[in-house]
Amino acid sequence: MLQACLNGSRSRDFHAATPLNPAELAADAAAVLAAGATELHLHPRDEAGAETLDPVHVASALEAIRARVPGTPIGLSTHAGIAPGGAGRLEAVKAWTVLPDYVSVNLIEEDAPEMIALALSRGIGVEAGLWSAADAERFVKLPQARQALRILIEINEQDEAEGLEVAAAIRKVLARASLDVPVLQHGLDATMWPLYRDALLRGLDSRIGLEDGKHMPNGSQTEDNAALIKAAMLMARVPPDVRTA
């Protein structure tokens, strides 16, 4: 599975094609799906372009995208920096009137167990975001671990060798726990493509998009999210010995 991560916390200063409002998100969703993505991950924004979990803005984004690409799984982030922030995020999610198919929850955050329990109680799937082996250890001990939709191995390290080492440590913890939960592995900026190639080699799901980086495999700046997805699809068709050369 290839997920398109459309915007994250990025702004227009990062890339001019970063989609922010509902109409832009819907148009971008159609473009990345046409390019080969199968699922979506995004961060709704308010009128000023700031990330938000506000029920009105969440509903506007989801409804616009579903009208354009009905039936496509859509996930939202719940990270601690999104307004209203802190414990207010839990109250915001409780107040959602239009629900995403899933949410990502970072295990590094103190209230991760509460957010996971809340999402599951509302019938929302959970992507468990693991940044380290310590996150993985915390996750596998949760009573809801086996109820997760998928596990996200999320590598923030910018050195390729270091990033691959962290990912391997996380996978080792998961293997010991014998969780029958799908795994999606991805990197960030300098490690976006190396971690994607590694995911392909291991038969793992992955994601690509402006949230994770703006450069094509050859180092040039991408035109938009759809171009990144097309590059990822092309890479997936290249034989492994050529892909890693």
Question: Residue 230: CB partners within 8 Å, gap ≥ 6?
Answer: 35, 36
Residue 162's CB is within 10 A of a number of other CB atoms, namely 12
Reduced 3-state DSSP string for 165-204: HHHHHHHHHHHHHCCCCCEEEECCHHHHHHHHHHHHHHCC
> What is the band of 242 on the pLDDT scale with cuts at 50, 70, 90?
low
Integer Cα distance of 72 and 57 in angstroms:
19
Residue 220's CB is within 10 A of a number of other CB atoms, namely 10
CB 35 within 8 A of CB 226: yes
Question: Residue 179: CB partners within 8 Å, gap ≥ 6?
Answer: 140, 145, 146, 151
Nearest CA-CA partner of 5 in 178, 183, 245, 228: 228
pLDDT at 237 over 60: yes
Query: Within its chain, how far is the Cα of 196 from the centroid?
Result: 13
Integer Cα distance of 129 and 88 in angstroms:
20
Integer Cα distance of 39 and 21 in angstroms:
19
Give tens-digit pLDDT for 141-158: 999 999 999 999 999 999
pLDDT at 245 over 50: no
CB 76 within 8 A of CB 40: no
Q: In what order do the strands lie in the sheet with 183-186?
A: 183-186, 150-154, 125-130, 102-106, 74-77, 39-42, 2-5, 206-208
pLDDT at 7 over 50: yes
What is the second-level CATH architecture of the domain 2-243?
Alpha-Beta Barrel (3.20)
Identify the pLDDT of residue 239: 59
What SS3 state is found at 118?
helix
pLDDT at 243 over 80: no
Give tens-digit pLDDT for 173-224: 999 999 999 999 999 999 999 999 999 999 999 999 999 999 999 999 999 9
Q: What are phi and psi of 206, to 5 degrees?
A: -150, 180
CB 209 within 8 A of CB 195: no
Residue that the structure tokens 């996930």 belong to: 75
Residue that the structure tokens 């990270």 belong to: 79
